[in-house]
Chain A
Amino acid sequence: VTVDAVSDEELLARAAREDVDALAALYDRHRSIAYGVALRITGSVPAAEDVLQEAFLGVWRQAGSFDRSRGPARTWLLAIVHHRAVDAVRRRRGAEPLPELDAMTPPSMVVPDIWSEVAERLDAEAVRRALASLPAPQREAIELAYWGGLTQVEIAARENLPLGTVKGRMRLGLQALARALREPADPGAGVNRSAPDGSAPSRQTPSSAEGRAIGRLQARLVRGLGSVYAALRLLSGSTRSAA
């Protein structure tokens, strides 16, 4: 009943204070999706394992720079895994390295608030549905870049397409994806409306918000217990040294 209700964000804050147990809890919570991402990109078990190892070291070191306003901890963590994995396959191909994550979202970029909430309520099924709703050429351009780690230039050469076409497909595809993910209950987003559980995301929002509130409360309780323990330890220390 304790750690399960603690939010990812709180675990990340604890990891930033060098709490190894918090990192372990994040690993336990996200290892299978993280490994799925790494394996899909690298296509090799040893490489995917190396990626996870490096990525969680990255999570540990960068936990303090996590910014909640830019999205939930889960997608932040998976972005690190994705980045390491693409970096690994690009190095293997001798292609140019991926820009650092910070450079991909420069401070001058103001991410719309809505994306924190959207990213929080999404699950695998919702993202797969949204991807499936894209025209195939746009979806393929996105997937070759995201899962294949290919650059626009590489995709254009491989698919024998003009660079401008690939560029356009990526932009239009991501725009359509953003619309589909942002407005799941919007009658304009046909694919979501027709889905059997199209109303699920709006049902999930309050319950996950509740979960977060409970998580924060329990985190506060745990911290309270921690201070009581610290006080006890201090007291017993002083009685012993006074003797």
Chain B
Amino acid sequence: MSQLPMDCDAVDEAAGGFALGALEADEAAAIRDHLATCDRGHPMLAELRAVVPVLALAADAIEPANSLRARVLAQVAPAEPPQPVASRSADRPGRRLRWGIAVLAAVLIVGLTGVTTMLTVRLRDALDYGARATAAATLAGEPGSRSIQLAPSAGGGPGGTAVVAADGRAIVLLENLSPTSGSQVYEVWVIAAGGAPVPAGELRTTVDGRGWLEVAAAPSPGLTVAVTLEPHSGATTPTLPILAAGASG
């Protein structure tokens, strides 16, 4: 059925059906065509259209299944299940940071342990190292802390990071260390601007080539951190070569 153009009276007559979406498609289209050019505004039609959405309020409130919430929200954020706004808006920065650190720690621990390394010694090592990595991440988030990249001196050699807080606390993390033999130890040296290398301590190492050291008071600024392999513990001057080093600005 083709629809003839409608005049104002015909539009008003069909206003109820139009407002309810109950017209045949061609009739509704004819009304839209009319409205697009008519300068009378058809306030009655506009009012009926405004009243229709209010009808929804007459429905009974019925609780949907709990699982529907996740379904609804998953489609707008597939990667990140959202949390209720109310519980986190009060202290968003703190929660975000703690959440970030927790994720970082989890990633580190999972990454370090791997899937097959269930030997307790490796697990403990990894947890120890992971704990230091987490502590380093926390330290790095403090105001005024600096991160120093410890670049390997030779390709394939050990490298890592030192995080130095404003108050001199520092955590040194190394990876890719070769196994030591006999009485050998990895020694960390800190060198203040223009000063001589001072031993900061020995790295605690894991069987999979990682090591860490916590330092109570590193000098700053102009700090250089270096790592050497010493034949014995207790060295007072570094034995060359320097395996990895880095300086802060």
A residues contacting B by CB (< 8 A) are 2-4, 20-25, 27-28, 31-33, 35-37, 39-40, 45, 48-49, 52-53, 56-57, 60, 70-71, 75-76, 78-79, 81-83, 86, 96, 98-99, 103-106, 108-112, 115, 118-119, 122-124, 126-128, 131, 141-142, 145-146, 150-153, 155, 166-175, 177-178, 181, 222, 225-226, 228-229, 232, 235-236, 239-240, 242-243
Question: How far is B41's CA from A199's CA once the two chains are assembled, in angstroms?
Answer: 33
Residue in chain A with minimal CB distance to B15 = A171
Residue in chain A with minimal CB distance to B33 = A106
Chain B residues in 8 Å Cβ range of A240 = 140, 145-147
Work out how many contacts link A and B, with CB atoms closer than 8 A.
248
Rounded to whole Å, the gap between the CB of A214 and the closest CB of chain B is 15
**A108-B36, A122-B54 known; A3 and B86 CB under 8 Å?**
yes
Q: Which of A53, A70, A99 contacts B21 (CB 8 A)?
A: A99
Question: How far is B89's CA from A229's CA once the two chains are assembled, in angstroms?
Answer: 12
Question: How far is B32's CA from A106's CA once the two chains are assembled, in angstroms?
Answer: 7
Rounded to whole Å, the gap between the CB of B149 and the closest CB of chain A is 9
Proximity string of chain B (75-108) to chain A, C-beta cutoff 8 Å, 1 when within and 0 when not: 1110010111110111011001000000000000
Is B46 at the interface (CB under 8 A from chain A)?
yes
Is B30 at the interface (CB under 8 A from chain A)?
no
Proximity string of chain B (30-51) to chain A, C-beta cutoff 8 Å, 1 when within and 0 when not: 0010011010011111111111
Indicate the size class of the contact surface on chain B: 35 or more
Interface majority SS on A: helix, strand, loop or mixed? helix
Rounded to whole Å, the gap between the CB of B170 and the closest CB of chain A is 12
Chain A residues in 8 Å Cβ range of B141 = 236
Residue in chain B with minimal CB distance to A70 = B50
**A96-B24, A106-B35 known; A171 and B68 CB under 8 Å?**
no
Chain A residues in 8 Å Cβ range of B196 = none
Is B151 at the interface (CB under 8 A from chain A)?
no
Whether the Cβ atoms of B24 and A53 lie closer than 8 Å is: no
Whether the Cβ atoms of A31 and B16 lie closer than 8 Å is: no
Whether the Cβ atoms of A28 and B84 lie closer than 8 Å is: yes
Is B201 at the interface (CB under 8 A from chain A)?
no
Proximity string of chain B (51-81) to chain A, C-beta cutoff 8 Å, 1 when within and 0 when not: 1111111111111110011011101110010
Rounded to whole Å, the gap between the CB of B219 and the closest CB of chain A is 15
Whether the Cβ atoms of A23 and B89 lie closer than 8 Å is: no
Is B249 at the interface (CB under 8 A from chain A)?
yes
Chain A residues in 8 Å Cβ range of B54 = 75, 118-119, 122, 127, 181
Q: Closest 6 CB pairs between A and B?
A: A170-B16, A171-B16, A243-B146, A78-B56, A115-B50, A32-B61
